[in-house]
Chains A and B, each alone.
Chain A
Amino acid sequence: MLKLITECHNLDNLPVRDLIDSSGSVSPETPISVLAERFFTEPELDALPLVRDGFPYGLAVRNKILTTLGTRFGFALYARKPISAIADMNPLLVHHDESLNGVLAQAMARDFRDIYDEILVVDEADKYVGLLSVKRLVIEQGNHLAQSIAQRRMALERAAEMQKMNDAKSSFMAHITHELRSPLHAIVGVIELVKMNFSQQKLDEFPKYINLLSTSSANLLAIINNILDLSKIEVGRMDVYSEDFVLGDLLQEVLETCQVLLGDKPLTIELDCAQPQILLSGDRGKVRQILLNLASNAVKYTDRGNITIAAEGGSQLKLSVKDTGIGIRTEDLANLFVAFNQLEDAKTRRYNGSGLGLTITAQLVQLLGGNISVDSTFGIGSRFDVQLPCRQPSQPEENFP
């Protein structure tokens, strides 16, 4: 049987030998009536080669033989004669090493009545090895073309995707390199000043230096933690714990951290929680991180006005952080939670940080089985909403994932 060629080669290099059908042949002396009988009884038989002593002599094509016999007096005239009398005694012969494309080109160059006639294939010694069906060659060529087009398109798409990812990663690397080094360089510089001044017993600047060392190290630590958190989430190593906690205490903690971050900005932060004493059960650490990330972003991106941190406990824990900050452009909203996707060009950014905060926040929300959404108007402010599945310790566990 014919075997289907599935591997993709260049069609100009693909030899026809794999497509050959060498199932049968007849001698040129065979009476036409015998052959006609075979064509009648074997409807699948399209053509038979005429072969003597292993060498090809001609080709008997089903349609042509039966048409000749079907004409007036055809059978009477030809039935007893050998098949060589009416067969094609000058059929197309090709070598078994010739390529599919080359053979098809020769086949198609024939007279239009012969175009679909089978092709005889010979080996190095010009001995007959089998027949090629033009229909099959055409189908095979079509398959290969379709396959190579699809492969080419896939390869192009993959390359474009890789390029995009590479670009994002290298710009992220450039950015993170700067963000990691900048606070460290400040630390290195201040330590050098401390050493220089200490050797001269000039201690009056020391409180300022120590303050700088402390804020710069905290800054660096936060960035390193963000990177480590994200890689932990990305390899699926982040575990979820459950513990009981009082909602109001958690809010207070977040508020206090934000007050420190606030510095001397003319900005007020309000808590909005109807039941601060409600006891909840969940991963307190991650809930705190989610809320703190959103709230500290609000502080970072708001120069004046107010920030409202709202929380409502129940079967769902609803958190929201609303600010009167710079807001986010509509076209940037879609990429807000995507890692390695800085909204601002790193070189001209107004705000420091790893740029991973919102990505981590969204990943944590997902890890806890909740969802996060954002509503923002550029220049007016933003509002982030988070819903997390939650339960109160006294209630059954059905609402907890």
Chain B
Amino acid sequence: MTQPKTVLVIDDDERHLLTARGLIEALGFRVETHNSPFRSTEKILDLKPDLVLLDVNMPALAGDRLCELLRSEPVLENTQIYLYSSNDEDILRQSVRRYQADGYICKGDIRGMRLKLQSLLGGST
């Protein structure tokens, strides 16, 4: 049996960490959470997740800017980074391009999130 794929969710809002964990675990993936942009690089390097869901609106360092910083880490070259936000989709699309994220997932779109994660990480185990 293969190891389940790992998703790391970074969000300062505990409510969203809770819902993301519940929804993604139900898909059969392993979920880790982190509630601040600080020390997130360490967390990612330590955990080497298959995919990172990154909230955009966070204190001190916006998620899209954090994404840009993570992208400059050669070790994380194969880590998929998706923006995970309640922001307007047009703005998210722009941020994806500007900060070199792999894509975005809208917070309220549960169906969309399930489909996306399954297609990115493979069907539920």
Q: Give me the interface of A with B, judged by CB distance under 8 Å.
A: 174, 177-178, 181-186, 188-190, 192-193, 196-197, 208, 212, 216, 345-350
9 pairs, A vs B, C-beta closer than 8 Å? A177-B87, A178-B85, A182-B107, A189-B18, A189-B23, A190-B15, A193-B18, A347-B62, A348-B58
A residues less than 8 Å from B78 (CB atoms):
none
Tell me if A348 and B110 are in contact (CB < 8 A): no
CA gap between A182 and B85 in the complex, in Å: 8
Tell me if A348 and B16 are in contact (CB < 8 A): no
Tally the A-B contacts, defined by beta carbons under 8 Å: 79
Tell me if B108 and A188 are in contact (CB < 8 A): yes
Least CB separation from A192: chain B residue:
B110
8 Å CB contact of B107 from A189, A208, A212, A216: A189
Report if A189-B57 is in contact (Cβ < 8 Å); known contacts: A181-B107, A347-B62. Answer: no
Least CB separation from B113: chain A residue:
A189
Give chain A nearest CB distance to B8 CB in angstroms: 18
B20 within 8 A of A: yes
CA gap between A346 and B40 in the complex, in Å: 21
CA gap between A287 and B85 in the complex, in Å: 37
A residues less than 8 Å from B87 (CB atoms):
174, 177-178, 181
Give chain B nearest CB distance to A177 CB in angstroms: 5
Report if A346-B107 is in contact (Cβ < 8 Å); known contacts: A177-B88, A189-B23. Answer: no
CA gap between A267 and B61 in the complex, in Å: 27
**Chain B 11-22 interface mask (CB, 8 Å, partner A; 1/0):** 001011011101
Least CB separation from B90: chain A residue:
A174
8 Å CB contact of B15 from A186, A192, A345, A349: A186
Tell me if A190 and B62 are in contact (CB < 8 A): no
8 Å CB contact of A178 from B15, B18, B57: B57
B56 within 8 A of A: yes
Tell me if A193 and B61 are in contact (CB < 8 A): no
A residues less than 8 Å from B23 (CB atoms):
189, 192-193
Question: Using a Cβ–Cβ cut-off of 8 Å, how many residues does chain B contribute to the interface with A?
Answer: 25
B75 within 8 A of A: no
B91 within 8 A of A: yes
Give chain B nearest CB distance to A176 CB in angstroms: 10
Closest 6 CB pairs of A and B: A189-B19, A181-B86, A347-B62, A185-B107, A350-B59, A186-B15
Tell me if B60 and A189 are in contact (CB < 8 A): no
Report if A216-B15 is in contact (Cβ < 8 Å); known contacts: A182-B107, A348-B59. Answer: yes
B26 within 8 A of A: yes
A residues less than 8 Å from B57 (CB atoms):
178, 182, 346-349
A residues less than 8 Å from B107 (CB atoms):
181-182, 185, 189
Tell me if A350 and B60 are in contact (CB < 8 A): yes
Tell me if A174 and B91 are in contact (CB < 8 A): yes
B86-118 residues with Cβ-Cβ distance < 8 A to A are 86-88, 91, 107-108, 110
8 Å CB contact of A196 from B26, B59, B86: B26
Tell me if B110 and A182 are in contact (CB < 8 A): no
Least CB separation from B88: chain A residue:
A177
B14-69 residues with Cβ-Cβ distance < 8 A to A are 15-16, 18-20, 22-23, 26, 56-62, 64
Tell me if B86 and A348 are in contact (CB < 8 A): no
Tell me if A189 and B62 are in contact (CB < 8 A): no
Give chain B nearest CB distance to A79 CB in angstroms: 88
